Chains A and B, each alone.
Chain A
């Protein structure tokens, strides 16, 4: 019998290694797997490369992981927010590296990584600072930039409900990067509010099929 459900957060994040690239779901707080991130702080992996839309808020979740000194580099679209002071200080002190990526290019790079696509051309960013060093190709008279895929060792995501095969459904805009990140990591770990019995999730409504998920842990919100 296949059972991807693990009983503890400690088991959920076991084996994440130093230097890992970690895709983290969430758009601000919505969909950010806070319990998994807290478990990673306890677990102790360091020199991490974090891929997320943002760079943490206040001193919880991703910001707490950064404050604990575990993050070497952030790949994100929007680090600067009213309460992103943990990242701001580390960045200004030269203690954290930033790769800034337009939001849609970030999502598509991860999608490409998960779908086995070796890169793609996009019009986003043509003629801007963020085009520096990128190949430009003219296709049907329009300029496009070549963007590389992103794959990762680990993805930490939050979903509303999962079953023991790893099928997931999400909650409203907390879905955001979750289904994309799930596809692009060797080890995808989902924090879920609820566990469903096999067959309870409507197959027509499953957003992330279990093939993309290795571990599921229930965290009551």
Chain B
């Protein structure tokens, strides 16, 4: 059994994005997906701060700090790209115009509840950004994360214990062990056992009654 690296998770996820899709990649791990989008397909990347048709990072001497992504890093604009203000940008999300968003997560429940914005610790300064809008608005919410925490606890859980970002919003979870689909009514299906762990071991790791 060989678990996927973070780049391999991004690569696996990128394979599932069809040509013509309007996609928002969340800050952090999901931004890696951009590196693996197939070059022969046209896919529209959306950034919450008002861009469609976002391109890759520029060379260092071409950086323009008026052209940044949600993580506030310099990006480029592809031919045919456009700019718009924040209310329109989030209207695209809530209005169901974005096909896919990819988010990181602390936890996802078997019902598709997502926790990714706040640890809930009393001294933590909460910051939500666009996470709740994406969770509520995108037609499909994909989560990209390692299946376990550093101390070996499953992040795919029966019930989230961290503060929620959205209810029943996640449809797929891409992890270092493989790809999981939220089927509804609390059923989770293993759609791709990328690390060849086997269904029984994945059941042990997650503590969930997974189906194949």
Contacts and interface: CB of A to CB of B under 8 A. Distances in A.
B51 interface: yes
A102 to B, nearest CB: 4
Contact of A107 (B83, B87, B127, B166): B87
Contact of B65 (A29, A110, A124, A176): A29
Interface in B36-87: 47-51, 64-68, 72, 77, 83-87
A219 B49 CA distance: 23
Contacts of A27: 49, 68, 72, 86
Contacts of A105: 90, 132-133
Provide the main secondary structure of the chain B interface: loop
A62 B48 CA distance: 21
Interface residues of B, number: 42
B64 A77 contact: no
A110 B87 contact: yes
A196 to B, nearest CB: 18
B107 to A, nearest CB: 14
B167 interface: yes
Contacts of A180: 85-87
B94 interface: yes
A100 B94 contact: no
B189 to A, nearest CB: 24
A56 interface: no
B128 A107 contact: no
A87 B125 CA distance: 10
Contacts of A130: 128, 132
Interface string B148-176: 00000000000000011111000000000
Interface in B80-136: 83-87, 89-91, 93-94, 113, 118, 123, 125-133, 135-136
A128 B164 contact: yes
Interface residues of A, number: 47
A177 to B, nearest CB: 5
A129 B83 contact: no
A176 B129 contact: no
Closest 3 CB pairs of A and B: A104-B90, A104-B133, A80-B127
23 contacts: A27-B72, A30-B49, A30-B65, A30-B68, A79-B126, A100-B126, A102-B128, A102-B132, A103-B90, A103-B128, A104-B91, A104-B94, A104-B130, A105-B133, A107-B86, A125-B132, A126-B167, A127-B164, A127-B167, A172-B64, A172-B66, A173-B67, A173-B83
Interface of B: 47-51, 64-68, 72, 77, 83-87, 89-91, 93-94, 113, 118, 123, 125-133, 135-137, 163-167
Given A104-B132, A108-B87, A176-B85, 20 more contacts: A27-B49, A30-B68, A77-B127, A77-B128, A79-B126, A88-B125, A98-B126, A102-B131, A103-B86, A103-B130, A104-B137, A105-B132, A107-B89, A107-B90, A123-B137, A125-B132, A127-B166, A173-B47, A173-B50, A177-B86
